[in-house]
Amino acid sequence: MTRADLTAYLAQGRAVLKVGFKDWAKRPSFTAVAVPATIALASLATALEPPENIDPADWTQKYRYVSADSGSPYPGKWDHIRSPQVIEPLRSLSADDPCMGVVLKWSAQTSKSEVGVNWFGYVGHIEKLPMMITQSGIVELGKFNRYKIQPTIDSTPVLKKCIEGESDKSGKGSTTFIKAYPGGGCILASAGSSSALQGVTRARYWGDEVSEYPAETGHRGDPVQQAIKRMEVYRNSKYLLTSTCQIKNSCRISLAFDQSDQRKWYVPCPHCGDFHTLELDNLHWSTNHNEMRVPVFSCPSCGTDIAEREKDAMVDAAIWVPCFKSKNATNPQPPEVISPENIETWAARDCEGIRTKGYHLWKAYAKTSDWDGILLEYEEAEGDSEAMKVFWQQVLAEPWDDSGEAPDHVDLAKRTESYPDCEIPLGAYFTTGAADVQKDRIEWGVYAWGPNLHGWLIDKGIFKGATDQPEVWREFIEFTQTAAYPYQNGLTFPVDLWGVDSGYRSPIVYQATRGLANVYNLDGRGRDKPSAPPLSSPKSIQHKIGGTVVGRTTKYDVGTYGLKTRMYGMLRQWQDGPNDEGEWPKGVVHFPKIADEEFFEQVTAEVLVPHARRGGRIDYYWQKIKNRPNEHHDILIYNLALACHLRWDTKKPEQWHDLIEERGVNPEAEQATLEDLWGPTKIATPKGVTESEVMPRSSPRAKLLAQLAALNNSPIDGDDA
């Protein structure tokens, strides 16, 4: 028994003894000496009784209850049968295990946070050691306490008994951010607060969703390392880090996993018995005896398809194997396939003194997930860099690589297509326009957008003139209110939404666009975080001219970081071209012959460069290539932001159907042509006004729409009036 253990037991004894004498004083026979003596001895016996010899995994199975208030679909008594992946990590967090830390690089909804919650319960009930739990911020801490920690305390009898309630009037009870129990209690702290990380010494530390933490806190460095440093006074301290992944090279959980023994979960094939890991490349569609499409994993050993109904038995028999790469040639990495007679040997592989156990787990292993859902999500994400990033991080539990290079502008110029410019191509159903403001000109471009994440450049140009003078703005604004483009069936559509870069000569831009519902002021500065949305909510700001406030206007911040990544992905898809059957992949932007080499030199004018931070972490930021113009780079980014704002990337098939119908086109006839976007299909010209409901009216625009309606409803050669 350590000194800390003895101190904790004596503290518990004093607390129990105090309660005992308080009850004795209320007894009618309080004069009897035997009563307090009996209570005192019983209290001391309870206090000095050694703690139960149990590890965190067995404690969880024996004592843990899941609250219905936690949102879990399985409230009630905890059962490892639903999440066998948590057993070994929990045992690693026992004081008997020699490891110093445990790292869980797991996908979403795989019980990684439950490992930490279970460990918290074990520490408070059995170890009674001071503990700290961190989240990325105060808001996250409040939600974490409300939906994770407090429901666990309230629903688990042994925790409700040993952890003080929040209603204690003595001021010594628990609060939202302090869970009081003998031995030091548990503090819930924000990773963004240096004082919270520096102010206390803890023996146990759990950092949850650590990849969301700031790179450094309070100019003192990495917040996780700050917390771990506070544990050095304890010889047998333990930490747990859990998180989904973020961006490669700056993802804290991935970097921590790379420094661990890198354990992977090997499952036995139900057909040949050999052990292997589940890999996305081996997951595919097959056909069952009823000719229905079903997901299967192909065994890399025997090649037999493994049905999903066999998954539960596989993961129940799975074994964690250290897979780190050793510099010692006599200690190689485990092979892809391990025979049953060798699996225990590989599981006991020499970890060469590495004191951190790392566990990687992706969603295919979880009993609560389904393989067909994973395949469908993967297919849906193909071609969409933002959706693929989410799939990579949340499903595969891998960091997303944002460091792809821009395609070569010379090669792109050779790839242009012969579709007509200044026309809306077949397969596109709404248009956006964006302008970049320079000192002596306004450059602009118009793009058309359609299903399957396709886009087309249809027009571009320049309005020349000093942009601090009204003449060029009158010309440009008139164009935004009157520009319209014909569709291949003869109908004509105005541009649905315009955006103007208001980061340069802002007061002049605000004055020029004032009162125009179809022109947005866009600001691409300072929104280069990966998590920023394509277009922010509208922000009301003061409109000043010469320092005088003349009113208020609205602007939108553009999430340039993610949009630039998406744009380069679309360019690469277009550069690769269609497949052998002539089918274009999802997520392509097309360019006609008006896009020359100079145009693509501008489009590819920015690159993603690494920036080293303290502790070896690397962040990326976008940097303009020196002496290269980037006007059409920004114009395409702004058009993408406007398209996403009009739900181009989230519309369901039925919503596209409604939009096609709204445009005055026959949805059924049009849908038949989408299988071949470049086919010379003749579509009957319907009657009807072409104004989109997503496009608000302005006075000049209303007049234009009336003219377009009359034009669209006029007879065409070969048609009856």
Model confidence at 140, pLDDT cuts 50, 70, 90, reads very high
Out of 41-50, 241-250, 568-577, which region has the weakest mean confidence (pLDDT)? Answer: 41-50
Measured in Å, how far apart are the chain's first and last C-alpha atoms?
A: 99
**Whole-angstrom distance, CA of residue 407 vs CA of residue 564:** 12
The three-state secondary structure class of 620 is: strand
Q: DSSP states of 103-166 as a string?
A: EEEE-TTSSHHHHHHHHHHHIIIII---EEEEESSHHHHHHHIIIIIHHHHHH-HHHHHHS--T
Q: What pLDDT, on the 0 to 100 scale, is given for residue 716?
A: 38
- Of residues 195 and 629, the one with the higher pLDDT is 629
Give the rounded percent of residues in the chain with a pLDDT score beyond 90: 54
**Residue showing tokens 């489009």:** 603
Residues 299 and 428 in one domain: no
Residues 17 and 93 in one domain: no
Is residue 615 a part of any domain in this protein? yes
How high does pLDDT run on average in the chain? 84
Q: How many domains does the chain have?
A: 4
pLDDT digits (tens, 9 = 90+) for 640-663: 999 999 999 888 888 888 888 877
Is residue 396 a part of any domain in this protein? no
Q: Is the pLDDT of residue 228 over 70?
A: yes
Model confidence at 515, pLDDT cuts 50, 70, 90, reads confident
Please give the average per-residue pLDDT across 29-49, as a whole number: 51
Is residue 378 a part of any domain in this protein? no
Is residue 192 a part of any domain in this protein? yes
| Residue 25 domain boundaries | 3-48
Q: Which of 477, 512, 513 is nearest to 495 (CA)?
A: 477
Q: Is the pLDDT of residue 611 over 60?
A: yes
Residues 232 and 301 in one domain: no
Out of 129-133, 383-387, 631-635, which region has the weakest mean confidence (pLDDT)? Answer: 383-387
Model confidence at 491, pLDDT cuts 50, 70, 90, reads confident
CATH label of the domain that carries residue 93:
3.40.50.300
**Whole-angstrom distance, CA of residue 710 vs CA of residue 561:** 43
Q: What is the dihedral of CA 75, 80, 84, 86, to 10 degrees?
A: 80
Model confidence at 103, pLDDT cuts 50, 70, 90, reads very high
Contact between 97 and 57 under an 8 Å Cβ cutoff? The reply is no
Q: What pLDDT, on the 0 to 100 scale, is given for residue 704?
A: 56
Domain boundary among 258, 277, 299: 258
- The strand ranges marked E within 438-576 are 441-450, 454-464, 484-486, 492-494, 497-501, 519-523, 539-545, 548-557
Give the rounded percent of residues in the chain with a pLDDT score beyond 70: 81
Q: What pLDDT, on the 0 to 100 scale, is given for residue 700?
A: 52
Q: Which of 706, 698, 707, 667 is nearest to 683 (CA)?
A: 667
How many helices, marked H, and strands, marked E, lie in the chain?
A: 24, 28
Is residue 718 a part of any domain in this protein? no
Model confidence at 687, pLDDT cuts 50, 70, 90, reads very low
Enumerate the H helices of 540-613 as residue ranges.
560-576, 597-603
Is residue 8 a part of any domain in this protein? yes
Q: What pLDDT, on the 0 to 100 scale, is given for residue 33?
A: 45
Q: Write the DSSP symbol of residue 81.
A: G
- Angle, CA 199 vertex, CA 195 and CA 201 arms, to 5°: 145
Out of 13-17, 103-107, 357-361, 483-487, which region has the weakest mean confidence (pLDDT)? Answer: 13-17
pLDDT digits (tens, 9 = 90+) for 362-397: 999 999 999 999 999 998 888 777 788 899 999 999
φ/ψ of 101, rounded to 5, equals: -145, 160
Domain boundary among 258, 291, 320: 258
Domain boundary among 258, 283, 311: 258
Residues 278 and 178 in one domain: no
Please give the average per-residue pLDDT across 591-606, as a whole number: 94
**Residue showing tokens 């035997």:** 34
Residues 215 and 318 in one domain: no
Out of 20-34, 401-415, 682-696, which region has the weakest mean confidence (pLDDT)? Answer: 682-696
